[in-house]
Amino acid sequence: MPAIDIEISEVGPRDGLQSIRPIMSTTAKKDWISALAAAGIPEIEVGSFVPARVLPQLADTAELVAHASSIDGLAVAVLVPNLRGAQDALAVGPDKMTVPLSVSETHSLKNLRCTHAQVLQEVRDIRAAIDALPAGQRPKLEGSLSTAFGCTLEGEVPERKVMEMAEKLVAAGCDEVGLSDTTGFASPTQVRDYIRAIHRLLGRDKLTGVHLHNTRGQGFANVMAALDAGLTTIDASMGGIGGCPFAPGASGNIVTEDLVFLLESMGLRTGINFARLFAARQVLAGALPEVELYGFTPEAGLPKGFRPATAQ
C-alpha cells in the first residue's frame, strides 16, 4: 500500500445509504465497497447495527462486514447505537465501532431516545464486551460527538459541554472521540479551536478524525481548519450522498471525490487512484440511477497537467 498523509474514511455505504429512500441491493453494495477499496480508500463505514425495522436500508450490515473484511488492507468500520448493536457487530468482527453521542441532550432524546447517562452506560457495557475478547480481536471503539458545533433544536451548543462529553466518553472506555458537524453549523474557527481544546484535554491520539458537512458551503473551509489543527482522518461520502441535504446542488456530507482532489492538489497523499475512484462513482451511479450524485471534480475532470501527490 502506498504511504498516506491523510486518511479518507468513506461513510457513503452507511451515512449515505441510510439517508436515501431506495434500498441498494447487497450485491451492488459489495461491488461498490470493492470498487472503493480498489481505488485505495483505506477505511469504509459499511453499515450500522440498528434494528432492520428502523433502517431497512442497512439490514445487510453483517454480510457487508464479512465481505469488506475479506479485502486485504481495508479497515472496516460500523456504527453501533448501543450494546445490542455492538454484540451483533462483534459477532462478525469489524476493525472499528463508532457509538454516536449527541452533545445536545435535546437532540439525543429526540433522535436516539437516550439521555447522556444512558449512552455512557452503553459505552461502558460495550467496552466490557470488547475487553472480554482475545487481545487480537478487539475492534477500536470511537465515541462520535454529534451536534458538536450546534444543534437545530438547541441552537448553540456550549464548548464546555463538548469537552465534558469528550472526557466522559474516554472515561467510559472509548479509544478515541470524533467530532461531528451533524447540522452543518461549524465554522473553521470553531473546528480549529475544538480540536485543539480536545488535544490539550485528552491528548492528540484521542482525536484524529472529523465528520464535516457542507450544508452552508463551508465543508472544505472546515477541512482546512481540521488539517491545520493536525487531524489525519477526514470522513467523506462518495457523490456527497447522505448528511442533511437542503438545496439543489447542496450535499450534506462533503464529497469524497472533491476532497481527494483538494488534498492531492495540496501535496497530501491519500493513497487513492483517481481513475479507479471515478470508476467506483460509476458503480454507485449505476446501482442508484434515481439518486443525484454531487461533486465538481468528476464533472470538471482533473486540471490539464495535474500531478497528484499519490503515484497513480
* CA terminus-to-terminus distance, the chain: 12
Site string for a second copy, 164-203 (x = CB under 8 A): -------------------xxx-xxxx-------------
Kindly tell me which residue out of 196, 204, 216, 269 binds a second copy, with binding defined by CB under 8 A: 216
**Phi then psi for 125, rounded to 5 degrees?**
-65, -40
Q: Which helix (H) or strand (E) holds 145?
A: strand 140-146
| C-beta closer to a second copy: residue 91 or 266 | 266
State the minimum distance, in angstroms, from the CB of residue 309 to a second copy.
10
Distance separating alpha carbons of residues 100 and 122, to the nearest angstrom: 11
Kindly tell me which residue out of 155, 158, 203, 286 binds a second copy, with binding defined by CB under 8 A: 155
State the minimum distance, in angstroms, from the CB of residue 38 to a second copy.
23
Judged by CB under 8 A, the stretch of 91-99, 137-145, 147-155, 167-175 that binds a second copy is 147-155
Distance separating alpha carbons of residues 39 and 236, to the nearest angstrom: 15
CB atoms within 10 A of CB 300: 10
Q: Do 293 and 239 meet the contact criterion of CB atoms below 8 Å apart?
A: yes
Judged by CB under 8 A, the stretch of 22-30, 135-143, 163-171, 212-220 that binds a second copy is 212-220
- Positive or negative, the Cα torsion across 66, 67, 72, 78? negative
| C-beta closer to a second copy: residue 6 or 74 | 6
State the minimum distance, in angstroms, from the CB of residue 194 to a second copy.
14
Has 244 been annotated as catalytic? yes
For the annotated catalytic residues, the residue numbers are: 244
